[in-house]
Amino acid sequence: MSIFSISGIRISGLAACVPQNRERTADYDWMPEKERKMFEKTVGISQRSVGLANHTTSDWCYAAADQLLNDLQWNRNEVDLLVFISQSPDYFLPATGIILQGKLGLPNTCMAFDINLGCSGYVYGLATVAGMMRETGMKKALLLVGDKTTTSVAYKDKSTYPLFGDAGTATALVLDDAAPEMVFNLQTDGSRYTALIVPEDATRTPRNENTYVETEVAPGIIRHQRNLALDGVSVFNFSINEVPINIADTMAAAHKTEADYDYMVLHQANKLMTEQIRKKLKFPPEKVPYSINDFGNTSSASVPLTIVHKLREAITTGKHQMLLSGFGVGLSWGTVSMALDTIVCPPLLEIS
Amino acid sequence: MTDTAEEFVSKLEIEFDDFEPGTITPETKYREMEEWSSMHALIVIAFINAEYNVTLNGEDLRNTETLLDIYNITKSKLN
């Protein structure tokens, strides 16, 4: 079982960047007006941050990381590790994290690589980076996490298009023997890999004459095989059933209860879904912040983006006990129980 | 479960929030309602999961026509 704890690693800074461009649910004319209102109320999305064609996830991660490094006053030559987590890389190859190492002016002694994960990515990334630092003694690391999911969704697919937004984030981690333990609980169910999938134009099914042919899959859902396909009911059921158990197991392993936490930050998937999770775990609404209304479901960026957007004042001025949970595409899910103590956090960045 | 079909439907009506009270009954063919959307299906799933600890999947829902059908399938999954 992947429940484990890592001590002696501290998050010293966190930054997030979104594209300036917004699309409003009210303007999404592929969906009938009544349904748009229902969507806004139920799913909780009024507007989404949508990147323009000339920007990628790595641009938002770069902006966030560059600002964070400046604010932390880190000597860039001391960064030992950079991990980039995304499902919207700049290229098939080389890895985007490598490009970011160069662009950020990090030294050639820095280790850099990518991890391909979506909604669970932030928690998995913290576990990977913290575990490597603890084992190797690397002192400073950057975790860059985000997605440009809007690049994969079809306008005429009302089950995906109004849901997703774009963002990039940067988290700075340092080796610090005094840092309290982080308790992780990471899970996977690959047998359900088709629940969220871009079916073609990679190597399993290379691009063919049908790849970009649009098909009406269901009323209001027209897409092609390079678009993101979402089995909403399956993902919904997975999330409201598996995630509360995963979070409860994490709290138990950390010997904590709801009362011990200041905040629980859930992946911003769909407010109906996350409210269900919140209620099952008996967390009061004031402990569970949301950013979905302003940016949509921003995939792996949603947990750190929500912290920057909603908890910046708290985390920059004191110690807070946090539960962070990501869940979705894979299926892959995980939770971390940890503290954030007076960290550096520049205001949310926006680039055009 | 102790709820009757009528009680089940009136609880569901509260969850939907956007229907005039009394507009849905166990016999309502829900997909034929003008307001019906995929969000309502998720609300049904969430409500049944929270209230009765039963998970309805996509296949279960496809096999239903009325709210009574949903009530019955929920009941059958309880036993």
pLDDT category of residue A38 using cuts at 50, 70 and 90: very high
Min Cα distance A177 → chain B (Å) is: 43
Q: Would the pLDDT of A297 be above 70?
A: yes
Q: How far apart are alpha carbons A145 and A290 in whole angstroms?
A: 18
Q: Would the pLDDT of B79 be above 80?
A: no
pLDDT category of residue A352 using cuts at 50, 70 and 90: confident
Average pLDDT over residues A171-186: 97
Mean of the per-residue pLDDT values of chain A: 97
pLDDT category of residue B20 using cuts at 50, 70 and 90: confident
What per-residue confidence (pLDDT) applies to A7? Answer: 97
Q: Would the pLDDT of B18 be above 80?
A: no
> In this prediction, what percent of chain B has a pLDDT beyond 90?
56
Q: What are A77's two structure tokens? A: 């030559």
Average pLDDT over residues A212-223: 95
Q: How far apart are alpha carbons A238 and A305 in whole angstroms?
A: 23
| Contact call for A233 and B55, based on CB within 8 A | no
Q: In terms of CA atoms, which chain A residue is nearest residue B58?
A: A233
What per-residue confidence (pLDDT) applies to A95? Answer: 98
Question: Is pLDDT larger for residue A241 or for residue B32?
Answer: A241
What per-residue confidence (pLDDT) applies to B34? Answer: 81
Whether A24 contacts A18, CB under 8 Å: no
Domains and their CATH numbers in chain A? 1-352 (3.40.47.10)
By the CB < 8 Å criterion, does A234 face chain B? Answer: yes
What per-residue confidence (pLDDT) applies to A245? Answer: 98
Q: In terms of CA atoms, which chain A residue is nearest residue B53?
A: A241
Q: What are B35's two structure tokens? A: 């307001």
Q: pLDDT tens digit string along B50-69?
A: 999 999 999 999 999 999 99
Q: What amino acid occupies position A320?
A: H
Look at strands A319-328 and A22-24 and give their pairing: unpaired
Q: pLDDT tens digit string along A106-162?
A: 999 999 999 999 999 999 999 999 999 999 999 999 999 999 999 999 999 999 999
pLDDT category of residue B16 using cuts at 50, 70 and 90: confident
What per-residue confidence (pLDDT) applies to A204? Answer: 97
| Contact call for A232 and B42, based on CB within 8 A | yes
Rg (CA), chain A: 19
By the CB < 8 Å criterion, does A38 face chain B? Answer: yes
- Prediction ipTM score: 0.91
What per-residue confidence (pLDDT) applies to B24? Answer: 87
Look at strands A349-351 and A263-266 and give their pairing: unpaired
Q: Would the pLDDT of A54 be above 80?
A: yes
- The CATH class given to the B5-78 domain equals mainly alpha
Interface test with A, best of B39, B40, B49, B70 (most A CBs within 10 A): B39
pLDDT category of residue A169 using cuts at 50, 70 and 90: very high
Average pLDDT over residues B11-38: 85
Which residue carries 């009394």 as its tokens? B22
| Contact call for A272 and B42, based on CB within 8 A | yes
By the CB < 8 Å criterion, does A25 face chain B? Answer: no
Min Cα distance B29 → chain A (Å) is: 18
Which residue carries 């919904």 as its tokens? A236
Mean of the per-residue pLDDT values of chain B: 89
**Distances A252 to A119, A278, A335 between C-alpha atoms, Å:** 23, 17, 12
What per-residue confidence (pLDDT) applies to B37? Answer: 87
Q: Would the pLDDT of A201 be above 70?
A: yes
| Contact call for A236 and B39, based on CB within 8 A | no
User: In chain B, what residues touch A41 (CB-CB under 8 Å)?
Assistant: 17-18
Whether A28 contacts A161, CB under 8 Å: yes
Of A285, A304, A154, whose CA–CA distance to A230 is shortest? A154
Q: What are B1's two structure tokens? A: 């479960």
CA angle, A122 then A118 then A144, to 5°? 45
Interface test with B, best of A42, A163, A230, A282 (most B CBs within 10 A): A42
Q: pLDDT tens digit string along A14-25?
A: 999 999 999 999
What per-residue confidence (pLDDT) applies to B1? Answer: 77
HEC letters along chain A: CCEEEECCEEEEEEEEEEECCEEEHHHCCCCCHHHHHHHHHHCCCCEEECCCCCCCHHHHHHHHHHHHHHHHCCCHHHCCEEEEECCCCCCCCCCHHHHHHHHCCCCCCCEEEEECCCCCHHHHHHHHHHHHHHHHCCCEEEEEEEEEHHHCCCCCECCCCCCECEEEEEEEEEECCCCCCEEEEEEECHHHHHHEECCCCCCCCCCCCCCCCCEEEECCEEECCCCCEECHHHHHHHHHHHHHHHHHHHHHHCCCCHHHCCEEEECCCCHHHHHHHHHHCCCCHHHCCCCHHHHCECHHHHHHHHHHHHHHHHHHHCEEEEEEEEEECCCEEEEEEEEEECCECCCCEEEC
- Out of B43, B45, B56, name the one closest to residue A42 (CB): B43
What per-residue confidence (pLDDT) applies to B21? Answer: 77
A-B CB pairs within 8 A amount to 55
Interface test with B, best of A236, A239, A243, A280 (most B CBs within 10 A): A236
Q: Which DSSP string corresponds to B6-69?
A: HHHHHHHHHHH-SSPTTS--TT-BGGGSTT--HHHHHHHHHHHHHHH-----HHHHHT--BHHH
Q: pLDDT tens digit string along A70-93?
A: 999 999 999 999 999 999 999 999
